[in-house]
Amino acid sequence: MRLEGLEVFVIGTPPPGWGGRYWIIVRLTTECGITGYGEVYASAVGPQAMVAVIRDVFERYLQGENPENVERMFRRAYSSGFTQRPDPTVIGAFSGLEIACWDILGKARDRPVWALLGGLMNERIRAYTYLYPLPHHEKAAFWTSPEMNAESALAALEQGFTAIKLDPAGPYTMRGGHQPGMRDIDLCDQILSAVRAAIGNRADILLGTHGQFTPAGAIRLGAAMERHQPLWFEEPVPPDDIPGMAEVARAVRIPVATGERLSTKAEFGAVLRAGAASILQPALGRAGGIWEVKKIAAIAEVFGAQLAPHLYAGPVEWAANIHLAASIPNLLMIECIGTGGDFHLPLIGHSLQVRNGFVIPPDRPGLGISFDEDLARANTYDGEMLHLQMQDAPCDYVDGNNFEGGAARE
């Protein structure tokens, strides 16, 4: 069995674009006709440039190889250009291709991917979702409205979720860490107060920040939020500031989570050694693929850390997350787009779903999904923007800030 063919789908997401502006899905085909799907998470270059990177990585390191040889192919890509260090673009391309290899292997053996990773550890996988505007909400006002966030939180609980995430501290700026304004701290407190009052102790609150603060700024915000007992404080400082994140972890009585922008065990290992986080959030389409994240989970277990695989992408990465989560003992939960995503689910024939706040690992071969190539081709993305864009403007200390919650399209 040898890898022979590659097709790349760049899929534009219909409004409102939850999960990002587009998704990059790859299909690998073996010489004996078995196909497998994978997903490349958000890249730092434009979609067409990323397609060229994916093709280059495939042709250099995977084409003609046995898909069983995941370790060998990873070492080739990791060493690309005499680097032997994490490169999020190259490793991102490899990650999607690697996921497709596991889909092929499961289909070839008529077993789900989790069965090839050590078997079933978790028969039900706890899920969480971001809070999104409800149909009757004014979307532009939602992100700074305590009342709307509380209403959305109650709706999530009615769907069975036992954890919900929100990011009320804005802004999502390319300028790096900053000190939050007092009005940002106050708004964050108002929103968490309203959500906690609405849901009581029926669900955990997950506080996201997307690396927006300096260590001192994150400590100020975290100290003010401690009374709401969030389960985690996500990326309180930029992801490359590991010493700063460790400073926050020591100073704030909220567990620190990080990982959606990290790649390979090298970066996750540095976080663990520094004591910077106790919850890791790898994105399997960027971190190195299923096998590399399985290694990250094993390392985290030694440090008493848990995994909560990240998802702000499409349904193929979601499927990979589910199989990885099914196989590890130190799972906390997985991220989902609502109960599966209004566009995610049709794209995989509703073959995976969140029910009553949990996902049941599929028992079908491979990733267990039915990918709709016709629907993918009907929604080809041909724009120039990135999956997500960071704003150029700095923190607004006069008129306040408004994080748009990852909304990519109107």
Q: What is the C-alpha separation between 59 and 325, in angstroms, rounded?
A: 30
Provide the pLDDT for residue 43: 78
Q: Which residue has the higher pLDDT, 392 or 378?
A: 378
Burial class (CB in 10 A: 0-12, 13-18, 19+), 210: buried
Opening angle at CA 402, ends 50 and 41, nearest 5: 20
Question: Hey, what amino acid is at 367?
Answer: L
pLDDT tens by residue, 280-306: 999 999 999 999 999 999 999 999 999
pLDDT band at 405 (very low <50, low <70, confident <90, very high): low
pLDDT tens by residue, 6-37: 999 999 999 888 999 999 999 999 999 999 99
Distances (CA, A) of 326 to 9, 76, 119, 281: 27, 28, 8, 15
Q: Are 47 and 23 in contact (CB under 8 A)?
A: no
pLDDT tens by residue, 92-123: 999 999 999 999 999 999 999 999 999 999 99
Provide the pLDDT for residue 171: 81
Domain 116-367 fold: TIM Barrel (3.20.20)
Where exactly are the structural domains of the chain? 116-367
